[in-house]
């Protein structure tokens, strides 16, 4: 039986989606076992923290809220989703394997799933559109080789050991065109814009680039092994990559590329 990987985004009336529309700088990740939900809220704008806390306090069915002063984690008492209001429940009802988490950004919900038949996905799309909702397919492709090597990415591994200043250096460089070809800005320009010494910014950027490459190498090894030796060698490549890495933080699955 052929397996199909599907990635799509949905916009409809739901509590977390509405919260995402209201707070445009917020990213949320939701895990659900159909009994309880765990929601992680990441704020890129610290000034919205107090307002977000007030909104969360007004939500029903919350059993626990923890925060580090910036990001917020919520646990619900019981999942209230049904096929009449939930995309996830419709994935279950149409014989599809839902890959958590669901990501929320800008009012859109981003999903990642495995379909066993094309017909199942077509029926799922029709059911979700009746919620009503707007659904956009981002990707649909046959799963070749090992599922783990095709759809699992450890974001904790990819960004392990990056400091806040290093992340800011990468983002500033990206948005100012440092990584474009030809380059739209140099280190001196970016350092001046950020009002930091050039040598300090250069150090943060170099360390960020070095650590990011080091974290990506195991995944590149896996990809190289898969492309050169075929499916039979993927598992060996994955084991080699894992053995070559030091222990890191808890991993999560990434199912879409943010818009």
- Please write the tens of the pLDDT for every residue from 47-60: 888 899 889 888 88
| Higher pLDDT pick, 244 / 99 | 99
Residues 134 and 32 both lie in one domain: yes
Lowest mean pLDDT among 52-66, 116-130, 186-200: 52-66
Residue 250 lies in a domain: no
Residue 255 lies in a domain: no
What integer pLDDT is reported at residue 218 of this predicted model?
A: 72
> Which single residue is written with the structure tokens 């990740």?
29
CA distances to 18, 119, 151 from 252, rounded to whole Å, are 24, 29, 12
- By three-state DSSP, how is residue 248 classified? coil
- Please say which residue of 143, 173, 200 terminates a domain: 143
- Residue 108 tokens read as 């859109």
Interatomic CA distance for residues 46 and 62, integer angstroms: 23
Of the spans 1-5, 63-67, 122-126, which averages the highest pLDDT?
Answer: 122-126
CA distances to 84, 151, 185 from 112, rounded to whole Å, are 20, 9, 36
Residue 93 lies in a domain: yes
Q: Which DSSP state fits 232? A: G
pTM over cut 0.85: no
Residues 12 and 133 both lie in one domain: yes
Residues 155 and 138 both lie in one domain: no
- Please say which residue of 97, 125, 143 terminates a domain: 143
Section 40-68 average pLDDT: 86
- Please say which residue of 143, 165, 193 terminates a domain: 143
Residue 178 lies in a domain: yes
Residues 10 and 138 both lie in one domain: yes
Residues 157 and 89 both lie in one domain: no
Interatomic CA distance for residues 255 and 259, integer angstroms: 12
Residue-number span of the structural domain to which 135 is assigned: 4-143
Residue 253 lies in a domain: no
Residues 88 and 181 both lie in one domain: no
Section 200-209 average pLDDT: 95
Interatomic CA distance for residues 158 and 156, integer angstroms: 6
3-state helix, strand, coil in the chain (%, to 5): 45, 20, 35
Answer yes or no: are the C-beta atoms of 109 and 11 closer than 8 Å: yes
Residues 229 and 170 both lie in one domain: yes
Residue 258 lies in a domain: no
Asked whether residue 184 carries a pLDDT value surpassing 80, the answer given is yes
Residues 10 and 128 both lie in one domain: yes
- By three-state DSSP, how is residue 143 classified? coil
The predicted-structure confidence for 83-126, as pLDDT tens digits, reads as follows 999 999 999 999 999 988 899 988 999 999 999 999 999 999 99
Residues 234 and 198 both lie in one domain: yes
Torsional class of 204: left (φ above 0), alpha (ψ -120 to 50), beta (otherwise): alpha
Residues 45 and 138 both lie in one domain: yes
Residues 26 and 124 both lie in one domain: yes
Residue 253 pLDDT grade (very low, low, confident, very high; cuts 50, 70, 90): very low
Residue 50 lies in a domain: yes
The count of structural domains within the chain is: 2
Residues 138 and 159 both lie in one domain: no
CA distances to 29, 38, 73, 141, 216 from 87, rounded to whole Å, are 15, 16, 22, 20, 32
Asked whether residue 237 carries a pLDDT value surpassing 50, the answer given is no
Interatomic CA distance for residues 90 and 128, integer angstroms: 7
């Amino acid at each position: 039986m052929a397996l199909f990987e599907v990635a799509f985004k949905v916009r409809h009336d739901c509590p977390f989606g509405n919260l995402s529309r209201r707070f445009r700088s917020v990213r949320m990740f939701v895990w659900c076992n159909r009994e309880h939900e765990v929601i992680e809220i990441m704020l890129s704008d610290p000034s919205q923290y107090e307002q977000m806390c007030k909104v969360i306090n007004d939500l029903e069915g919350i059993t626990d809220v923890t925060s580090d002063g910036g990001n917020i984690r919520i646990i619900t008492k019981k999942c209230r989703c049904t096929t009449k209001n939930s995309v996830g429940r419709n994935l279950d009802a149409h014989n599809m394997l839902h890959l958590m988490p669901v990501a929320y950004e800008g009012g859109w919900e981003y999903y990642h799933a495995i379909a066993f038949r094309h017909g199942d996905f077509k029926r799922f799309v029709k059911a979700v559109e009746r919620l009503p909702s707007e659904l956009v397919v981002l990707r649909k492709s046959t799963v070749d080789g090992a599922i783990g090597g095709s759809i699992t990415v450890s974001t904790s591994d990819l960004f392990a050991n990056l400091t806040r200043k290093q992340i800011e250096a990468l983002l500033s460089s990206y948005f100012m065109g440092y990584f474009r070809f030809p380059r739209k800005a140099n280190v001196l320009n970016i350092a001046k814009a950020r009002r930091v010494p050039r040598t300090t910014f250069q150090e943060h950027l170099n360390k960020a680039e070095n650590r990011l490459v080091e974290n990506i190498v195991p995944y590149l090894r896996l990809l190289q092994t898969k492309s050169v030796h075929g499916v039979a060698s993927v598992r060996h490549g994955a084991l080699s990559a894992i053995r070559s890495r030091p222990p890191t933080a808890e991993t999560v699955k990434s199912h879409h590329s943010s818009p």
